[in-house]
A and B are shown apart, each in its own frame.
Chain A
Amino acid sequence: MLLIRRSQRANHAVRTASAGGEVFVASVVICMILAAFGDAVDPTVFGEVGLEFAIFDFGGELSLLAMRHWHLLQLLLAGVAGAFGIFVLRVFAAGLLRILRPAGRRAIDKVPISL
């Protein structure tokens, strides 16, 4: 740990980590908590309320209950997928917001609407 303190950027990793890196680690942590959730739930409780299909069987091995068996490697890969998904969503959301933003009143491509 002493070695980490030699680098200013690593010592202040909580502030200097890139946005992408933070999203990746956050995705991994969320996957770890979901795996703990899969380990914690009692399947019979969900069976009684009829949610077993949605939570356990949907997607087979990718179901939440199966995550209890996931190892670190799988959690990291899921974290990569999660971070990529968030990145794609962000790009699409930015594009959508740009479309929704009204053009300037005197913009050259403003469609004239006359009542």
Chain B
Amino acid sequence: MELDFLSTGFLSALLAIVLIDLVLAGDNALIIGLVARNLPKDTQRQVIFWGTFGAIAIRALMAILVVYILNVPGFMLAGGLALVWIARKLLTPEEHASESHLIKGPATSFAGAIRTIVIADAVMGVDNVLAIGGAAGGSILLIVVGLAISVPIIVWGSQLVIKLVDRFPSVVLLGGAVLAWTGYSMVVREPLLATWFELHPATKLVAAILIFSISLAPWYTARLSDEAKPLVALLPAVLVWLLGVEVAASVWKLKADYLLATQTGEYILEGVRWLGWLPLAAGWLWLRERIELRRRTIAQR
């Protein structure tokens, strides 16, 4: 899909890429600083230069790979689901934020430093590159522009980004929402599911609410009391149930539409469709309560 330069679609995709870069890029500068901090001054300068170069090179390579990989059937769906998880992780506060398990400590040699930087970037840049690939919608120009925006953030922008998100934490929430929206767009664009979504258009809405309810759960859960928090799982569970019934009806060629139901069996099927989640939800809440009580009892002993 190629978008016209400076069209609304192009500018919107660019805005999504900038927001994604703001919340997901910029880890590299930290990694380079951490790895290089104990090296001698001369080696430190070399490590910073070659580390930055390596980080940019690996990111460019990954961006090219993502463009091709997303064209393979199934990967668009996997990428969309991965973005849902990334959005959720972004919004979940980390009480004991660790540096990174990839960095064991300051490097002692030039080669070791460069190796650590490149490996850490390859692993930690996956979310950023995947999100940019999804937001770009296959447009090479947008991928290049996205990369061009990432690079200054990698090299110089980390302090600026920290100041921005510290002053306006809503940017993080907006970033999570944009990631969820990009994830939804990727799921409905999946070639393997395109025909199914055409035949079952209502499932697009169910999928959208499901994706937003999972991605943004840390946000709306933060406002709830501890007693009410388990109930948060009910909305995604109901939506997963509805999607599951729709998929089952497609696979087993069942007529699951109350407007078309005429026989007792069809009415029962409709009942299961709309109310079948209730015993499962009650069972889950009961099980959770039992586990919690048992944990408290063990803790008291």
- Interface status of B279 (Cβ within 8 A of chain A): no
- Interface status of A110 (Cβ within 8 A of chain B): no
**In the bound complex, do residue B127 and residue A1 qualify as a contact, i.e. CB atoms below 8 Å apart?**
yes
Task: Provide the residues of chain B in CB contact with A6, threshold 8 Å.
Answer: 30, 97, 162
Stretch at the interface among A21-29, A51-59, A85-93, A97-105: A21-29
Q: A6-B162, A71-B8 are in contact. Are A25 and B204 (CB under 8 A)?
A: no
Task: Provide the residues of chain B in CB contact with A40, threshold 8 Å.
Answer: 201-206, 208
- Interface status of B169 (Cβ within 8 A of chain A): yes
Task: Provide the residues of chain A in CB contact with B89, threshold 8 Å.
Answer: 1
**In the bound complex, do residue B168 and residue A4 qualify as a contact, i.e. CB atoms below 8 Å apart?**
no
* B13, B23, B169: the one within 8 Å of A17 (CB): B169
Task: Provide the residues of chain B in CB contact with A37, threshold 8 Å.
Answer: 205, 208
- Give bound CA distance, A71 to B217, whole Å: 24
Stretch at the interface among B144-152, B173-181, B234-242, B262-270: B173-181
**Total A-B residue contacts, Cβ distance less than 8 Å:** 146
- Give bound CA distance, A15 to B219, whole Å: 8
**In the bound complex, do residue B170 and residue A21 qualify as a contact, i.e. CB atoms below 8 Å apart?**
yes
| Residues of chain B in range 107-161 having any CB-CB distance to chain A below 8 Å | 124, 127, 158, 161
Task: Give the residue name and chain of the B residue nearest to A68 (CB).
Answer: B204
- Interface status of B247 (Cβ within 8 A of chain A): no
For chain A, which range describes its interface: under 10, 10 to 19, 20 to 34, or 35 or more residues? 35 or more
Task: Provide the residues of chain A in CB contact with B12, threshold 8 Å.
Answer: 71-74
* A10, A20, A36, A76: the one within 8 Å of B184 (CB): A36
- Interface status of B84 (Cβ within 8 A of chain A): no
| Residues of chain B in range 1-31 having any CB-CB distance to chain A below 8 Å | 8-9, 11-13, 15-16, 23-27, 29-31
- Give bound CA distance, A25 to B207, whole Å: 20
Q: A40-B204, A71-B9, A71-B12 are in contact. Are A13 and B177 (CB under 8 A)?
A: no
**In the bound complex, do residue B208 and residue A33 qualify as a contact, i.e. CB atoms below 8 Å apart?**
yes
| Residues of chain B in range 32-85 having any CB-CB distance to chain A below 8 Å | none
Q: A4-B90, A25-B173 are in contact. Are A14 and B222 (CB under 8 A)?
A: yes
- Interface status of B216 (Cβ within 8 A of chain A): yes
**In the bound complex, do residue B173 and residue A21 qualify as a contact, i.e. CB atoms below 8 Å apart?**
yes
Taken residue by residue from 54 to 83, chain A's Cβ proximity to chain B (1 for < 8 Å, 0 otherwise) reads as 000000000000000001111110000000
Task: Give the residue name and chain of the B residue nearest to A25 (CB).
Answer: B173
Task: Provide the residues of chain A in CB contact with B201, threshold 8 Å.
Answer: 39-42
Task: Give the residue name and chain of the B residue nearest to A23 (CB).
Answer: B170
Q: A9-B166, A73-B8, A73-B12 are in contact. Are A29 and B205 (CB under 8 A)?
A: no
**In the bound complex, do residue B15 and residue A72 qualify as a contact, i.e. CB atoms below 8 Å apart?**
yes
- Give bound CA distance, A69 to B25, whole Å: 29
- Interface status of A5 (Cβ within 8 A of chain B): yes
- Give bound CA distance, A21 to B174, whole Å: 9
Interchain nearest-CB distance for A60 vs B (Å): 17
**In the bound complex, do residue A28 and residue B174 qualify as a contact, i.e. CB atoms below 8 Å apart?**
yes
Task: Provide the residues of chain B in CB contact with A33, threshold 8 Å.
Answer: 205, 208-209, 212
Task: Provide the residues of chain B in CB contact with A73, threshold 8 Å.
Answer: 8, 11-12, 15
**In the bound complex, do residue A11 and residue B168 qualify as a contact, i.e. CB atoms below 8 Å apart?**
no
Task: Give the residue name and chain of the A residue nearest to B153 (CB).
Answer: A3
Task: Give the residue name and chain of the A residue nearest to B86 (CB).
Answer: A1
In addition to A10-B172, A74-B12, 7 A-B residue pairs with Cβ atoms within 8 Å of each other are A6-B30, A9-B166, A21-B169, A29-B212, A37-B208, A40-B205, A73-B8
22 contacts between A and B (CB under 8 A): A1-B24, A1-B27, A1-B127, A2-B100, A9-B165, A14-B219, A15-B222, A18-B170, A20-B170, A25-B177, A28-B177, A32-B177, A33-B208, A33-B209, A37-B208, A39-B204, A40-B206, A41-B201, A72-B178, A73-B12, A73-B15, A74-B8
Give me the 9 closest cross-chain CB pairs, A-B, nearest first.
A21-B170, A36-B208, A71-B12, A40-B205, A13-B172, A5-B97, A10-B165, A13-B169, A72-B12
